[in-house]
Amino acid sequence: MTTYKIPVIPGDGIGPEVIAEGKKAIDAAGEVYGYDVEWLELPLGADHYLKTGETVSEDTLKELGRHRAFFLGALGDERKVKTGILEKGVLLRLRFHFDQYINLRPVKLMEGVETPIKNKTAKDIDFFVVRENTEDFYAGIGGRCTKGLTSQHLKLLREAYSVKFDLDVLTDSDEIGYQIGVISKEGTRRIMDYSFKLAQQRNKHLSSVDKANVMTDIYGLWRETFQEVGRNYPDVRTDFNFVDAVTMWFVKNPEFFDVIVAPNMFGDIITDLGAMIQGGLGLAPGGNVNPEGTSMFEPMGGSAPKYKGLDKVNPIATIWAGALMMDHLGEKEAAKGILSAIEANLREGRVRTYDLGGSSRTSDVGSDVARIIKMQGRN
């Protein structure tokens, strides 16, 4: 029997509660599909930061780097640590350190779940967003400067990043803040390759998202690379779309989409909208994938500190992320088993949390999904 060693970072707020249910489902699937998991718990997050002053230590990175995948609950607690420190210092750090360039976010409305989109059903909302996860406006290049520094900064900006438009208008301002988006040809090529391959396994339709009508340099390169890589996949239908229009189509005709590839920031934004049309953040999982390295699986939602300890929030996103993780580790049958148990739980609708109109607890939903996994395994 295979034994997987999987590091797990429960994190802050409701993180530990949802992670417990994710583990429950994965363990239950292990009994049915024949594997064992040894969970290695790592205490990152707000408390760890307050106690030690560190976000992630080199040792922790080294430990995580020994594994193909790890599981993460949620990070950040604005009541304890200023917003941004843990988000950037832990979550983004992990994504960048392990070069998890693929952020895979399924948008799928399950039967039995209500969507706020009128007249749309489960067959209309079923696509993947592939969010580039290491570049764009997340690259961390930026600064703030006051008057004395302004012209010097602008000069540097012009030289270093060939900022072409005229920034002189800003030099009279008392303070400016700037953030530079960077995408690279290679970084774009690899995410496109992944997305085309995913589209080939589905309905062979890939839509690219950009704003190449305004940010012509950064997204011009993105679009060009999309077209270039597309020539290697002649069986995949393609289109490119401006991000503003994409948000409209998510609501108007989500059935248009099969696989979507998006730069980091637009991908961040449209996947929150995606989560809403599939029933809410409580149902939205994500995988941060590096096919050759260490990947991280997490629910898309945040740590919701005000719900901590109430055994109230929906664990389905985390359980679903667990299914993505087991799929990534090669346990395809187990992944299918977990997903079909989620589907059965939602279809039946008896055991559900408050966000879906029910009154069950986090742990009840996790136990119900685990029960269904085992029951389906016996049939």
The listed partner (Mn ion, ligand IPM, none) that binds 149, CB under 5 to 8 Å by sort, is: none
269 touches ligand IPM (CB under 6 A): no
Q: Which of 27, 63, 78, 87 binds ligand IPM (CB under 6 A)?
A: 87
Q: Which stretch binds Mn ion (CB under 5 A): 30-38, 107-115, 161-169, 262-270?
A: 262-270
| Structure-token pair, residue 16 | 């530990």
Q: Which residues, listed in sequence order, are joined to residue 11 by a DSSP beta bridge? A: 74
Q: Which stretch binds ligand IPM (CB under 6 A): 86-94, 109-117, 236-244, 323-331?
A: 86-94
Question: Which single residue is written with the structure tokens 């399924």?
Answer: 106
Segment 300 to 339, residues that bind ligand IPM, using CB under 6 A: 300
92 touches ligand IPM (CB under 6 A): yes
Q: Which residues contact 268 (CB under 8 A, 6 or more apart)?
A: 131
Mark out the alpha helices in 165-263 (DSSP H runs): 185-201, 216-230, 243-252
Segment 283 to 302, residues that bind ligand IPM, using CB under 6 A: 300
On whether the CB atoms of residues 270 and 260 are closer than 8 A, the answer is yes
Q: Which of 138, 106, 135, 104 is nearest to 291 (CA)?
A: 104
Question: Which single residue is written with the structure tokens 């802050």?
Answer: 12
Question: Which single residue is written with the structure tokens 């983004």?
Answer: 92
The listed partner (ligand IPM, Mn ion, none) that binds 258, CB under 5 to 8 Å by sort, is: none
Q: Which residues contact 224 (CB under 8 A, 6 or more apart)?
A: none
Complex with Mn ion: residue 154 or 262, whichever CB lies closer: 262
Dist. CA 185–CA 96, nearest whole Å? 17
Question: Which single residue is written with the structure tokens 């995408």?
Answer: 183
Segment 161 to 220, residues that bind ligand IPM, using CB under 6 A: none
The dihedral over CA atoms of 55, 323, 138, 90, expressed in degrees to the nearest 10, equals 0
Nearest distance from C-beta of residue 92 to ligand IPM, angstroms: 6
Question: What residue number has its CB nearest to ligand IPM?
Answer: 87
Q: Which of 12, 21, 126, 268 binds Mn ion (CB under 5 A)?
A: 268
268 touches ligand IPM (CB under 6 A): yes
Nearest distance from C-beta of residue 133 to ligand IPM, angstroms: 8
| Structure-token pair, residue 246 | 């994409």
The listed partner (ligand IPM, Mn ion, none) that binds 91, CB under 5 to 8 Å by sort, is: ligand IPM
91 touches ligand IPM (CB under 6 A): yes
Instruction: Return residues touching ligand IPM (CB under 6 A).
Output: 87, 91-92, 268, 300
Instruction: Return residues touching Mn ion (CB under 5 A).
Output: 268
